[in-house]
C-alpha cells in the first residue's frame, strides 16, 4: 500500500469520525430542547437498547474489544484510565469504537494481516481457536481464508465486540465504519 493511499484512508477515517461527532452533537442539541418527560423516556430507551449488563469489563470500560493500554505509555484518544487487567477505560463508546477500528486498520495496513486466524493470533493469547471459529462463522469465511479487513470492518468490529462482551452492539454505532468500508 502506498503512502498516498495510507494518508487517504487516514484522512477519511478522521472525516468520518468528525462527521459522526457533528451528527451526535446535533442529536444532543435536539435532545436538550425536549421536555423533561421525553428526555427521561429517551435515556431509558437508549440505555435498554444499548447494553443491559454493566458487570462486564468491555461494558464498564466502554471498550468493546477490551483493548489493552499501549505499551509505550501513550494514551488512546478518549482514554481516561486503565483497569486492573490493563484494559483501557474510555470516556465514551465512540472513543472505544474508534480505537477498535484503528487496531484493525493497523492489522490490515501495517501488519498485512488478511485472515481471521491472523487477526486472532495478533489480538489475543488465550482461546484463539474458539475466537477464530466464532469470527469466521460470523463473517462467513474460513479462519485461514483471505478477506479485506477494511471492507469488512463493521462486521469484524461487531463480531469481536460480541465475543469480548457477549452483547450485540447496535448497528447504528457502526455507521462511520460502514462508510469507511465502502471506499
Per-residue pLDDT reduced to its tens digit, 88-119: 999 988 889 889 999 999 999 999 999 999 99
SS3 81: strand
d(CA 91, CA 80): 6
- C-beta separation of 97 from 64 below 8 A: yes
The per-residue pLDDT for range 4-37, each reduced to its tens digit, is: 565 455 545 544 554 454 444 445 455 555 565 6
Domain, as residue range, for 159: 3-181
- Pick the closest to residue 106 from 70, 136, 132 (CA basis): 70
* DSSP annotation of 67: P
pTM of the model: 0.69
At residue 90's C-alpha, the angle toward residues 178 and 59, to 5°, is: 80
Q: How many domains does one find in the chain?
A: 1
Amino acid at each position: 500500500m502506498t503512502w498516498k493511499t495510507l494518508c487517504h484512508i487516514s484522512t477519511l477515517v478522521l472525516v468520518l469520525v468528525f462527521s459522526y461527532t457533528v451528527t451526535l452533537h446535533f442529536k444532543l442539541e435536539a435532545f436538550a430542547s425536549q421536555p423533561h418527560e421525553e428526555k427521561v423516556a429517551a435515556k431509558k430507551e437508549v440505555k435498554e437498547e444499548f447494553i443491559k449488563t454493566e458487570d462486564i469489563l468491555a461494558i464498564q470500560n466502554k471498550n468493546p474489544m477490551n483493548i489493552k493500554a499501549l505499551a509505550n505509555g501513550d494514551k488512546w484518544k478518549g482514554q481516561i484510565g486503565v483497569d486492573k487487567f490493563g484494559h483501557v477505560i474510555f470516556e465514551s463508546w465512540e472513543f472505544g469504537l474508534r480505537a477498535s477500528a484503528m487496531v484493525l486498520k493497523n492489522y490490515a495496513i501495517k501488519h498485512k494481516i488478511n485472515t481471521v486466524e491472523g487477526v486472532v493470533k495478533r489480538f489475543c493469547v488465550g482461546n484463539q481457536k474458539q475466537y477464530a471459529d466464532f469470527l469466521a462463522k460470523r463473517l462467513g469465511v474460513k479462519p485461514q481464508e483471505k478477506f479485506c479487513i477494511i471492507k469488512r470492518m463493521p462486521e469484524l468490529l461487531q463480531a469481536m465486540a460480541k465475543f469480548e462482551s457477549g452483547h450485540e452492539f447496535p448497528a447504528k454505532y457502526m455507521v462511520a465504519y460502514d462508510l469507511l468500508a465502502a471506499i
